[in-house]
Structure 1
Amino acid sequence: MSVTGVEGEERNDFNKAESKQIRERSLRLLGSLLSPVRAQVILTLVVVIVSTAAQVAGPALIAIGIDQGLPALRDELDWMPLGVTVALFLIAGIAGAGLIAWYTVLTAKISQAILLDLRKRVFLHTQRLSLEFHESYTSGRIIARQTSDLDAIRELLDSGVNQLVQGALYMLFIGIAMFSVDWVSGLVLFGALIPLAVLTRWFQLRSQTLFRKTRVASARLIVQFVETMTGIRAVKAFRKEKRNEDEFGDLVEDYRFVNARVIQLFGIFDPGLVLIGNVALAVVLLVGGLRVADNGLAIGALLAALLYTRQFFAPAQEMAMFYNSYQSAAAALEKISGVLEEMPSVPDPTDPIDLWEAKGAVRFDGVEFAYKKDRVILPEFDLDIPSGQTIALVGSTGAGKSTLAKLVSRFYDPSQGAVTLDGIDLRQLHPKDLRRAIVMVTQEAYLFSGTVAENIALGNPDASREEIVAAAKAVGAHEFIESLPGGYDTDVNKRGGRVSAGQRQLLSFARAFLADPVVLILDEATASLDIPSERLVQEGLTTLLADRTAIIIAHRLSTVAIADRVLVMEHGIIVEDGTPRDLIAGTGRFAQLHAAWRESLV
């Protein structure tokens, strides 16, 4: 066998093994969702079995009424057999209708309980996942998991399962009833199952691929839409509307094309079902009619056989629609189970260490870190930051400054070595103590929907209005807040659209001040401020950084001036370390940066 052939077999084996793992993963998730509602599921099955039996009993009772009740009434004037048959028919109809109503309510309760559980799981789990996951998994894909994928599962639970269970039981009970009424007609109906099975299998094989393509096309549409709306400012700024229009048009066209192929598939399948049903009905009528003519079959039995044949093929179409829902839901469940199987790359400690009163001493001890194995950002990094010291990190883009900040915040864990707070490895520190002790303010000052006061209070949800106002005053935000239409009760609108970038940054400072951490990290936090705002913030920063350890990452050297110590980084290595005054007086990298900055101000 050629090498290419061997590699092809290995790939096929790998794909089969991977597909098997995905199916097992999806089944585990489904089992965990059904486990809490097991009792309701069993009750629902009992109800649907009894209701289906009651519905199927109708044609058999009609046959009895015609073949036995009518002769008794005509020959013996005995109305009892016909009356009992009619009464049983009415009871079966009423019972069937009532049980169907009960079954519908039960299935709705089960589906809503499962969906509630699944929605909460997806939200809580994605929120728990580490920053690494969110930086690689786009927000559009996460939204697709919570919207279109969960909607596909909802459709399956709300109607698809009903169609399958009721349809399968209906066909089974009709088959049993058919043989009990007339075994010859039962054989004719059984023979019709052969072309029905061939047509259904043909439909399944072709629809499986197409339904998966519709899920992919739908997800791409959602991702494109969400990313466009999220980045609408960049779209407007760079006049990207036309390009987005073309890209979205292509995605819509792909989605339309795939759905058109699905419709074409049903255009063959549905008429095929009708044709098979009509041919089977004609054969039952022909064979049964000849036997009635020879007195080999009662007229009531023939009528019952015809009714059963007619009813037998009605659920087949519904079951085909179930397969539609099933394919979409199966693909959605695979994607959701994949997200739920993701494990945080920064897990909580199994035996956490409490640190009630942190002092703020941070140390990097032999730290090595790489986002990818072949691209090391920090090689054998050592750094000691005493408690209460303010250090400024300076260096070119990609030097490792933000990576260092993310390691201190424990958004990531080092590949080797340890980052410690007061001598305790951050990987062993209790998460609550870690989040209380270390706060990071980034360049993107995100504001949530709500009032200005509510956004500041994120730093300390239990803070009073007086504490919120004091925090805003400390960082120079009080004046502009008071100028807003509703002051501290002004709704900032989605993502802070009612305030400028500089004002959002001031609110994030107030939030950090209210949190009162022992270690504060400012990652390019003054980049969005204009010169007047920056001067205000410089005053606020003096208050904000007092009596706490601070790490400032900034390109603006005016911000660096308030630091006790400056670290110049290049390629993950500290190349200069000293006070701002000493480094400016020297001839090194920082002195060059400072001179260039001074020239830019002239």
Structure 2
Amino acid sequence: MSRSVGVANEDQIVLGRADRARVRARSWALLRLLASPLRRMLALTVLLVVVSNAARASFPLIIAWAIDWALPELIADRPMALGITGGMYLVSAVLAGVLLGWYNLCTAKVSQAMLLDLRLRVFRHTQRLSLEFHENYTSGRIISRQTSDLETLRELLDQGVSQLVSGAFFILFTAASIFILDWRSGLLVLGAAVPIAIIFHWYQRRSELVYRESRVVSARLITSFVETMTGIRAVKAFRRERDNDERYGNVAGEYRDNSIRSINLFGVLQPSLVLIGNLTVAVVLLLGGFRVLEGGLAVGTLVALLLAAKRVFQPVESIAMFYSSLQAATAALEKVSGLLEEEPTVVEPARPVALRDAEGRIVFTDAEFGYGDGPLVMERFTLEIPAGQTVAVVGQTGAGKSTLAKLIARFYDLRAGSLTLDGVELRDLSNTDLRRAVVMVTQEAFLFSGSVADNIALGKPGASPEEIILAARAVGAHEFILALPDGYDTDVNKRGGRVSAGQRQLISFARAFLADPAVLILDEATSSLDIPSERLVQEGLRKLLGERTALIIAHRLSTVEIADRVLVVHDGRIVEDGSPARLVADGGRFAALHSAWRDSLV
């Protein structure tokens, strides 16, 4: 898997020149992609910002004409000139105000459209990525991409970009008006651009590192909070509140220190820009004043020059303020674009082979598997599971039992060899056909927001209430569901609708059975059940597993009693294979596990 710089080096603050150039190119490419459907609206915003700022920048010129031309004309009893300049000023003021408001409205529409597109892209892409990515990339970091980073981008696109673009055009047009009024003063103002460029370059180089570190620390802060809240039962059980407080406080302190460094940098940038602007205006006043006294410059022109010189530096201060947002947003965009650059390791075939009515025959041939580029987890093996057979997989923790199940569910692909379902390579099946044929029930038994009936119906969207009830009855969940405050309509996340771990597992069983797959995988799925519930579920399993292939992974050997066959996995190898009775008689690893389980019952 080719991992991106932004994700693979999540905690790397200082990037090499080549990596930095690649990350920037990737980020700008993402922005161009988001802006591409909005070309017409963007063209309109450019037109609006050009005309509105040209109108704003014309005020000093009109004032100069009013003082140096219209007032003498008025004194000479010719008021037409004053009316013309007054009308020009009024038209420019109205035009600038109306068009600037229109421009802000258009930029808001553009920014919100881009943000909506980006938010959906992040969500869809994160869902599309393979299980390997989610097992390596913490949930807190993903949440940070969707919340903190996108919020930073929102602040920039909503306000920062419009201020930056509008300010840049205003500076350009105001500087042009200064050159029109007096080219010598224009050169003075233009000379101030040199120290401004130097201070901006200084700020950019230092703030880039600070804001990149800010995104990393922000993600760690969110990760720490999410992990603590997700594992709050363990926190309470082991009295970890004080230790968590200390760890979270350290990360929050890092975030505070980082924020202080960014504020300090801006604290140098903004006063420097104010100082450069004030000094420039003072020089224009000093030199212009001497030229007025010498008769080389009109009074109205000097007034207009001072007004324009003062105005030309006002957006620079705003740009400096939003340049800080730009740096933060650039760092956030690097992280988001890095996430979007990730590619799934398990991909759907371009031309899938149809498998409408799967029977459930599974065959591994010379199969090998390892995670990423790591060592082999499952050494080369060949295995056939006939359709309709119930197979129990047992072995020590970490032996490879769950890996076998994940391969059949195609959460991962083999590194070498072949894995087929009814003679068709799993790699050649569409996701729709594969998910219809193979369903996996895991130990987590996650319930989504909504009613109990909604959660069961996930196994078969559009299922009737009768089908949902039949599925719940089959696994022994019907009675406890009826006892809930609103029965099948009970919201599982509201007070009074909370269900126990065992009950969640029974609901997930009902969900899987409603899906009616050809292959059903139970990965430690009875671990949360108490003994009565487990016996009830086993009764349901006996009824429902008769005609489908089942792979049951369990530490509790009571589950093995309903299996036709047992596979014993040890250190990534299948070391025993046979019926439960035969393996007990052979006196191997399964016999030892079975004996220990019998002793535990006594």
- TM-score bracket for the superposition, by shorter chain length: over 0.9
Tell me, yes or no, if structure 1 residue 508 matches structure 2 residue 508: yes
Kindly tell me: are residues 98 and 364 of structure 1, through their superposed partners in 2, closer, same or farther at Cα, counting changes over 3 Å? same
How many Å separate the matches in 2 of 1:412 and 1:550?
Answer: 19
Aligned to 2:469: 469
How many Å separate the matches in 2 of 1:492 and 1:431?
Answer: 29
Kindly tell me: are residues 447 and 14 of structure 1, through their superposed partners in 2, closer, same or farther at Cα, counting changes over 3 Å? closer
Kindly tell me: are residues 364 and 190 of structure 1, through their superposed partners in 2, closer, same or farther at Cα, counting changes over 3 Å? same
Structure 1 residue 174, shift from structure 2 partner: 1.1
Aligned to 1:198: 198
Aligned to 2:578: 578
1:547-580 CA-to-partner distances (Å, cap 9, x unmatched) read 1000000111111000011111112222222211
Kindly tell me: are residues 431 and 489 of structure 1, through their superposed partners in 2, closer, same or farther at Cα, counting changes over 3 Å? same
For structure 1, the 5+ residue unaligned runs are 1-12
The answer on whether the counterparts of 1:33 and 1:117 sit within 8 Å (CA) in structure 2 is yes
Tell me, yes or no, if structure 1 residue 44 matches structure 2 residue 39: no
Alignment map for 1:23-422 (pairs within 5 Å) = 23-75=24-76, 77-422=77-422
How many Å separate the matches in 1 of 2:194 and 2:378?
Answer: 67
1:146-170 CA-to-partner distances (Å, cap 9, x unmatched) read 1111112112211221122111111
How many Å separate the matches in 2 of 1:557 and 1:497?
Answer: 32
How many Å separate the matches in 2 of 1:372 and 1:102?
Answer: 52
How many Å separate the matches in 1 of 2:295 and 2:373?
Answer: 85
How many Å separate the matches in 2 of 1:177 and 1:221?
Answer: 50
How many Å separate the matches in 2 of 1:349 and 1:178?
Answer: 64
Structure 1 residue 24, shift from structure 2 partner: 2.2
Kindly tell me: are residues 191 and 16 of structure 1, through their superposed partners in 2, closer, same or farther at Cα, counting changes over 3 Å? closer
1:321-380 CA-to-partner distances (Å, cap 9, x unmatched) read 232122112111111111111111110011100011111111111100011544211111
How many Å separate the matches in 1 of 2:22 and 2:263?
Answer: 31
The SS at the match of 2:471 is helix
The answer on whether the counterparts of 2:362 and 2:384 sit within 8 Å (CA) in structure 1 is yes
Structure 1 residue 276, shift from structure 2 partner: 1.5
The SS at the match of 2:450 is coil
1:221 aligned partner, one-letter code: L
Aligned to 1:551: 551
Aligned to 2:5: none
The SS at the match of 1:561 is helix
Aligned to 2:6: none
Report the TM-score, using the length of structure 2 for normalisation.
0.95
The SS at the match of 1:350 is coil
Structure 1 residue 394, shift from structure 2 partner: 1.0
Structure 1 residue 544, shift from structure 2 partner: 2.7
How many Å separate the matches in 2 of 1:463 and 1:215?
Answer: 44
The SS at the match of 2:243 is helix
The SS at the match of 2:380 is strand
2:520 aligned partner, one-letter code: L
The SS at the match of 2:208 is helix
The answer on whether the counterparts of 1:153 and 1:329 sit within 8 Å (CA) in structure 2 is yes
Kindly tell me: are residues 476 and 181 of structure 1, through their superposed partners in 2, closer, same or farther at Cα, counting changes over 3 Å? same
1:70 aligned partner, one-letter code: L
Structure 1 residue 268, shift from structure 2 partner: 2.1
1:90-143 CA-to-partner distances (Å, cap 9, x unmatched) read 110000000001000110111111111111111111101110011001111111
The answer on whether the counterparts of 1:448 and 1:494 sit within 8 Å (CA) in structure 2 is no
The answer on whether the counterparts of 2:362 and 2:419 sit within 8 Å (CA) in structure 1 is yes
1:532 aligned partner, one-letter code: P
How many Å separate the matches in 2 of 1:143 and 1:511?
Answer: 27
Kindly tell me: are residues 18 and 278 of structure 1, through their superposed partners in 2, closer, same or farther at Cα, counting changes over 3 Å? closer
1:258 aligned partner, one-letter code: N
The SS at the match of 1:420 is strand
The answer on whether the counterparts of 1:439 and 1:520 sit within 8 Å (CA) in structure 2 is yes
Kindly tell me the number of residue pairs found equivalent between the two proteins.
589
1:375-412 CA-to-partner distances (Å, cap 9, x unmatched) read 21111111111110001011111211111000000000
How many Å separate the matches in 2 of 1:235 and 1:358?
Answer: 45
CA RMSD between the two structures: 1.6
Structure 1 residue 27, shift from structure 2 partner: 2.3
How many Å separate the matches in 1 of 2:205 and 2:574?
Answer: 61
Aligned to 2:19: 18
The SS at the match of 1:393 is strand
The answer on whether the counterparts of 1:281 and 1:306 sit within 8 Å (CA) in structure 2 is yes
The SS at the match of 1:313 is helix
2:264 aligned partner, one-letter code: Q
How many Å separate the matches in 1 of 2:524 and 2:497?
Answer: 21
Aligned to 1:481: 481
How many Å separate the matches in 2 of 1:371 and 1:359?
Answer: 29
1:22-59 CA-to-partner distances (Å, cap 9, x unmatched) read 22222221221111111111111111000000001111
2:546 aligned partner, one-letter code: A
2:216 aligned partner, one-letter code: V
Structure 1 residue 202, shift from structure 2 partner: 2.1
For structure 2, the 5+ residue unaligned runs are 1-13
2:160 aligned partner, one-letter code: G
Aligned to 2:593: 593
The answer on whether the counterparts of 1:471 and 1:510 sit within 8 Å (CA) in structure 2 is yes
Among all aligned residue pairs of Structure 1 and Structure 2, give the percentage whose two residues are the same amino acid: 60
1:52 aligned partner, one-letter code: N
Higher mean alpha-carbon deviation, 184-193 vs 221-230, is at 184-193
Aligned to 2:9: none
